[in-house]
Structure 1
Amino acid sequence: MGVLGIGGIFFRAQDPDALSKWYKDHLHVGAGCSGDGGDDPSDWFWRVQAGPVVFAPFKATTDYFPADKQHMLNLRVDGIDDMIASLTAAGIAVETRAEWDAPETGRFARIHDPEGNPIELWQPPA
C-alpha cells in the first residue's frame, strides 16, 4: 500500500475556462491532452508520461519563486528550446538564466500564466 503518483493538481482561478484553454493551447496540459502525442478531447484527464517528479516544500522565506505565491508549478518538458520559441512567438515572456541549468539537473525556463501563477519548465538531463 502506498502513493503511486500525483493524481491531480487543483487551484483556484478567476476564469477557469480561459485558464484551462491557455494551458492546453500553450503547454499542452489539461483535459484531452496526452503525453504520448495523442489528443482525445473526450478525455477529462491528462495522460502524462512516466518520469521523475519532485515533491518539495520550500522555506516560507524562499526566493525561488515569487513571495506572494504559495506554489510554483513545475512541468517536465522535452524540447525546451522549441517550447521557449513557441511561447515567445505567442507573446509569453520566458525567463532563462545560465545558472539555473546544470548537467546533473537539466535545463529550466520560467513563465507565468495569464493569472500570474509561476510555472517552471524543466527538461531533465538526457
Structure 2
Amino acid sequence: MSVVGIGGVFFRADNPEALQAWYDRHLGVVVDFAAPWVPQPGPTLFMPFKRDADHFPLDRQWMINFRVRELDKLISALRGAGIEVTTHAEWDTPETGKFARIYDPEGNPIELWEPPVD
C-alpha cells in the first residue's frame, strides 16, 4: 500500500468562514466539499523540519507551500490587495525556482513557489 497524494490540509481557525473566503479571493483555493479544489499535477514535498529550524516562524507548527504560475503577477495582486509579501533574491535559484512568503489573516505562514520551467 502507498499514499498517492494529499487528500486535504486541515487546521484550526478562529473564523473558518472568513479564512476560507480569504484563501479563495487571494489565492484561488476554493473550499467547497461539493466541488473541491483540484490542484494541477506537479511535485509535492512532505518534509518535517527540526523544531528550531528558522524556515518559518518558531511559534507555528506548520507552513503550507503552494505551487503557483506567474509568481510576479500574483505578488503584484497580493500587494495591491494590501497583503505584505516577502521575497529574497537568495531564495530563488534556477534549480529550485522562485519563492515568496505571505501570512493569512490568522498569521499562518504560506510559501508561494514557482517551480523552474523544464
Q: Which runs of 5+ in 1 are unaligned?
A: 33-40
- Superposition TM-score, scaled by structure 1 size: 0.90
Q: Deviations over 1:64-83 (max 9, x none)?
A: 00010000110000000000
Aligned equivalents of 2:66 and 2:40: distance in 1?
12
Q: Choose between structure 1 and 2 for higher RCO, CA contacts under 8 A separated by at least 6 residues.
A: 2
One-letter code aligned to 2:6: I
One-letter code aligned to 1:87: L
Specify whether residues 42 and 5 from structure 1 end up closer, same or farther in structure 2 by C-alpha distance, changes over 3 A only: closer
Moved over 6 A (4+): none
SS of aligned partner of 2:111: strand
The answer for the alignment partner of 2:90 in structure 1 is 99
- Give 1:84's match in structure 2, choosing from 49, 71, 75: 75
SS of aligned partner of 1:75: strand
- Give 2:109's match in structure 1, choosing from 118, 121, 125: 118
Could you say what the CA RMSD is over the residues aligned between the two structures, in angstroms? Answer: 1.2
The answer for the alignment partner of 1:13 in structure 2 is 13
Which residues in structure 2 correspond to 1:64-75 (within 5 Å)? 64-75=55-66
The answer for the alignment partner of 2:26 in structure 1 is 26
The alignment-based identity, stated in percent, is 57
Specify whether residues 8 and 42 from structure 1 end up closer, same or farther in structure 2 by C-alpha distance, changes over 3 A only: closer
Q: In the TM superposition, what is the alpha-carbon distance from 1:2 to its structure 2 partner?
A: 1.2
Q: Which runs of 5+ in 2 are unaligned?
A: none
- Superposition TM-score, scaled by structure 2 size: 0.96
Specify whether residues 94 and 102 from structure 1 end up closer, same or farther in structure 2 by C-alpha distance, changes over 3 A only: same
The answer for the alignment partner of 1:37 in structure 2 is none
Aligned equivalents of 1:109 and 1:14: distance in 2?
25
